[in-house]
Structure 1
């Protein structure tokens, strides 16, 4: 597998509500090249969305709509069954809401990424993946979709003519099938900074990672995600970017 000489760094931002804030948006926006902005369904509100869009636009960071099931109480991480027509409309609704604030800041929504339970569901569920694709098409038929390599979401998005961008996770464990280990299982989130750094370089340069069971698996990705809600997220993100640079990997937004 050939080396990747550049990679995008994305993080989930705007994950607050009212006076409560989970992510250090301002600091993370000094590190990442793409911002997955919560659109109000799993986190985020109008004021937060506007603030993050203004900060991202000022720093030249791409703005992405992080769409989710309507689940504020569960942070979008609970399994839900939503009728396809309803899900498509809600995806378009979230993108449209963020687009207002992105354009007001002099930018625009540059891509779409599902969040949490929806992200994992559309890896294999054709009906839900199709609904997300329909929602993106309703909002903007040229929007790239960010997702897991080999997922039904990216397959259907590509067939519909949407640009697709593959993504890997430096701080999440993988199964032998190159899917994410469910968060409820031990070891699903990688908390050792040294391991995250090593995995980041390996993913960027060789497109491989060690699975939860110790197997070498292929995860060819154009974008690398770092979760903004983990303890020490800002410092870890800075270290990841520095380590990638030291390994000869350019950190830049995907084309």
Structure 2
């Protein structure tokens, strides 16, 4: 197993707010690592540092052995990104976008992912006219169409119906089996228990748990362990 992601003593501050406070964790290729934590825990900031969108104040971030902040085009081509808001161009259709990205990466995965993620019914519709769930599917396809070795996926099943969610989980499992390192940010305990070989839980910018779902839950429910570790309360 090769390290896809390495985070060591990462720190990122915004004014008086410490978003990430000495976080250390890692993720391997050929595995799905799920990152959980309450709002404001530092998940998005950490992932944006790994994507090269933010520069750490101190500590180390490595993706496939490279510093993402200084990475060259060849490195970036091996990394897939699904942003929290999708980050998709609004005026083009899903088919045109995915076909264009596939050509840039010299892959032929566009048609495969359009069919697999059931994008065909709206493939010719401009992205700005798609529903939230439809955009999620296009954003996921865009992150995977280049055949990355590492992919950062932010809430990949948010807004999807149960059938589509299961299809996405199957697809992500196949990507990991093919050797891709997937880092999935999620609020779904079911998703983490279903997908993750490893779970990282952040709270107030620090890692409060890092291990397999079974190690963290102690044989119980991951949800119970999560709320115990973060001191949160369940929504009623």
Query: Rg larger in 1 or in 2?
Result: 2
Structure-2-length-normalised TM-score: 0.36
Q: Write 1 or 2 for the structure with the bigger share of strand.
A: 2
Work out which structure has the larger RCO, using CA pairs closer than 8 Å and 6 or more positions apart in sequence. Answer: 2
